[in-house]
Amino acid sequence: MELLLEEILIYGLVILLMVVIIYFYLRKLKKISDTTVEKIAKAKEEGRYEPISLHPYIDLSTCIGSAACVAACPEKDILGIVNGKAEVINASSCVGHGACFHNCPVEAISLRIGTESRGVELPHVNLTFETNIKGIYIAGELGGMGLIKNSVEQGKQAVANIFQGLDRKGGTSLDLVIIGAGPAGISAALTAKSYGLNFEVLEQDTLGGTVYSFPRAKIVMTNPMDLSLYRKVKLYDTSKDELLKIWNDALKTNNIIINEQCKVDNVIPMDDGLFKTKCNNGKEYISKRILIAIGRRGSPRKLNIPGEELPKVYYRLLEPERINNKKIIVVGGGDSAIESALLLMEGNDVILSYRKDQFARLKPKNRAKIEIAHQNKNLDIIFNSNVKKIESDHAFLSINGQDEFIKIENDLVYVFIGGELPIKFLEEAGIEIKKRFAHTLKSHRK
């Protein structure tokens, strides 16, 4: 009888211990869930909840709430857990690393561009990356694939498809012209070299495309990439500088030269099945195939004001550590403008001009940093302002839409107000553009 009572007591204690453990575990889950719900509410209030480009989409029927996606994301508060399921918090702050997609154990995450209500214009591309114009192909971000790893893969696959259908007999034309030297374009160039193709790479700016304009320490790569004629690069949390060094080394090793500062004005299909590519520097290239590997940003959006053509006006920030003792105006209120202003405020007098009355859709870290910098008077922020005129030693701002401008002594102006989608460029070549809603992208897992 005593033994039975002891067993009952032991079982009772075990059950009590399990109940206590489950209670505290459930309380912890509820606390995590409540915190995430609060963050989502704040993101909605600040306009950061709705996605503006590539973003994760979670299939709640598949999600097991492992939180592997939350842990894998290198950015803060993009994803969280609510009631045992993953939820997107700051969709507009997602930069498309794809770490969540690659680390989900049950493949509950897909990558989408556009929403059910907000469509995104994308060119028509088939499974071989060929557009409706036979001989013109698109790979990378312009086709909706914003991830560096997958843009690299698309560049490689597109050239493989081009090579299979290419007649290389006779003629003096190039086999291929690659437009853009970003992730997809560099990968395409290395692959074209591996096939022995006669090709040229044209880049309107500098090697790396959009990646080149990122701040130096910005994390741009979270998964390995396989470059033709080079190697599989097994780097994680890779910065812009590290990635550019890899690309430079790969191109140099294979004697591939990028034609930089060569903006393509148009691509003209010719009667004999060839293509004429015209650049703004007057050069023309005749080729059998075209691969367009440019970003969705296209060309930087301009202010369209007097004096914008002056050499003191820039649309990207390179080597900010070399800029000292200058009076600088940074125009814009997005992450690029904020990050640039923060870099420039060391050793310079910086004014951040933003046309709205408050920031929206900023990454939490950038929001916190800019607020601290403003409070500490490391820079000045002028909300509800627009730069209306630029002169060699001054700039003129309109505040709250007033007709009278304030005159500010100024050495440099940096403009970060987004880019113009290259829709006109594509349509002039005859490429069909479609508006896609909640479009799921084909992506490669590890």
pLDDT digits (tens, 9 = 90+) for 243-301: 778 888 888 889 999 998 888 999 999 988 899 999 998 999 999 999 999 877 667 88
Q: Is 442 within a domain?
A: no
> Which residue, of 53, 84, 113, is where some domain finishes?
113
Judgement on whether residues 248 and 294 belong to the same structural domain of the protein = yes
Print the domain residue range for 236: 123-298+422-435
Q: Give me the CATH number covering residue 102.
A: 3.30.70.20
More confident residue, 296 or 59: 59
Interstrand relation of 380-382 and 349-353 (parallel, antiparallel or unpaired): parallel
Angle CA 169–173–179, to nearest 5: 120
- From 175-189, 338-352, 361-375, the region with the lowest mean pLDDT: 361-375
Look at the chain and report how many structural domains it folds into.
3
Radius of gyration for the chain, computed over Cα atoms and rounded to the nearest angstrom = 26
Give yes or no: residues 279 and 349 share one domain. Answer: no
The predicted pLDDT at position 311 comes to 93
Do 288 and 312 belong to one domain?
no
Assess whether 101 and 41 both reside in one domain.
yes
Q: How far is CA 247 from the centre of its chain?
A: 18
Residues 133, 63, single domain; the answer is no
Q: Is the pLDDT of residue 171 over 80?
A: no
Cβ atoms of residues 187 and 152 within 8 Å: yes
For residue 183, being part of any structural domain is answered with yes
What is the Cα–Cα distance from 223 to 97, expressed in whole angstroms? 8
- Cβ neighbors of 197 (< 8 A, separation 6 or more) are 159, 163, 166, 175, 176
Is the residue at 44 inside a domain?
yes
Residues 6+ apart with CB under 8 A from 397: 353, 382, 385, 386, 387, 388, 405, 406, 408
Same domain for 311 and 294, yes or no, is no
The pLDDT score that the predictor gives to residue 221 is: 46
pLDDT at 236 over 60: no
User: Is residue 444 one of the residues assigned to a domain?
Assistant: no
Give yes or no: residues 293 and 308 share one domain.
no
Residue 50 has pLDDT above 90, yes or no: no
Does residue 225 register a pLDDT over 70? no
Q: Is residue 233 part of a domain?
A: yes
Residues 408-443 have pLDDT tens digits of 999 999 999 987 778 888 988 999 988 878 777 655
Answer whether residue 145 shows pLDDT above 60.
no
The string of pLDDT tens digits covering residues 324-364 is: 999 999 999 988 899 999 999 999 999 999 999 998 778 77
Q: What is the mean pLDDT of the chain?
A: 85
pLDDT > 70 fraction of the chain, expressed in percent and rounded: 88
> Are both 74 and 160 inside the same structural domain?
no
- Quick check: 388 pLDDT over 60? yes
* Tokens read off for 102: 């690659």
- Are both 175 and 249 inside the same structural domain? yes
Q: Is residue 118 part of a domain?
A: no
Instruction: Please indicate, yes or no, if residue 357 is contained in any of the structural domains.
Output: yes
pTM, to two decimals: 0.67
The reply to whether 189 and 266 lie within a common domain is yes
Which residues have a Cβ under 8 Å from the Cβ of 347 and sit 6 or more positions away?
323, 324, 325
Q: How far apart are CA 111 and CA 18, in angstroms?
A: 39
Nearest to 141 by CA among 419, 417, 338, 331: 419
Residue 17 has pLDDT above 50, yes or no: yes
Confidence band for 110, pLDDT divided at 50, 70 and 90: confident
Q: Which CATH number goes with the domain that contains 133?
A: 3.50.50.60
Write out the E strands in 349-411. 349-353, 380-382, 385-390, 394-399, 405-409
Mean pLDDT of 135-161: 82
Q: Is residue 445 part of a domain?
A: no
If asked whether residues 265 and 396 sit together in one domain, one would say no
pLDDT at 356: 93
Residue 128: CB atoms within 10 A of its CB come to 13
Query: Does the pLDDT value for residue 213 go beyond 60?
Result: no
Q: Please report the pLDDT score of residue 168 as a whole number.
A: 74
Kind of pairing, strands 405-409 and 412-415? unpaired
Q: How confident is the model at residue 147 (pLDDT cuts 50, 70, 90)?
A: low
pLDDT over 80 (residue 239): no
- The predicted model gives 5-13 an average pLDDT of 77
**For strand 385-390 and strand 394-399, is the pairing parallel, antiparallel, or unpaired?**
antiparallel
Terminal Cα distance for the chain, rounded: 61
With a cut of 60, say whether residue 223 has pLDDT above it: no
The answer on 220 and 263 residing in a single domain is yes
Give the domain-ending residue among 113, 138, 160.
113
Which of 188, 181, 187, 111 is CA-nearest to residue 144?
111
Give the pLDDT mean for 362-382: 91
Chain position carrying tokens 């691509």: 267
Distance CA 124, CA 136 (A): 11
Q: Among 20-34, 125-139, 180-194, 379-393, which range has the highest average pLDDT?
A: 379-393
